Amino acid sequence: MYSSFHLKVDGVLLNLPVNLNDGQVEVYQDGRHVLIKTDFGLKVTYDLVYRVTITVPASYHGKTCGLCGNFNGNKNDDYRTRGGQLVSSKVEFANSWKAPGD
């Protein structure tokens, strides 16, 4: 059996499920996964081991950037750094998106 999962929001530890901002964000456990859903259609699924899946509505076609690519249907131009430079190194690509701090 799985233990209870928690989410920290503004320094407060909350038990799942969590409903934030009057339903704009929902976080809950579904079997072996933790899901985050927003009212604008973003869905993040985590398998509690290593796999994260991010889904956005088709209205975001060509409007994203970062580690998940640009969602324009062309896999050959997804490795763009934060500065917009197309690189072939996965390490250079990932490091350009690294967040500061811990």
Structure tokens at 70: 């640009």
pLDDT score for 1 = 43
CB burial readout 64-84, b (16+ within 10 A) else e: eeeeeebeeeeeeebbbbeee
Structure tokens at 68: 């998940």
10-residue block means of pLDDT along the chain (102 residues)?
A: 70 90 94 95 93 94 91 92 93 91 67
Q: Residue 95: which residues within 8 A CB-CB, separation 6 or more?
A: none
The model's pLDDT over 1-16, given as tens digits with 9 standing for 90+, comes to 455 677 788 888 888 9
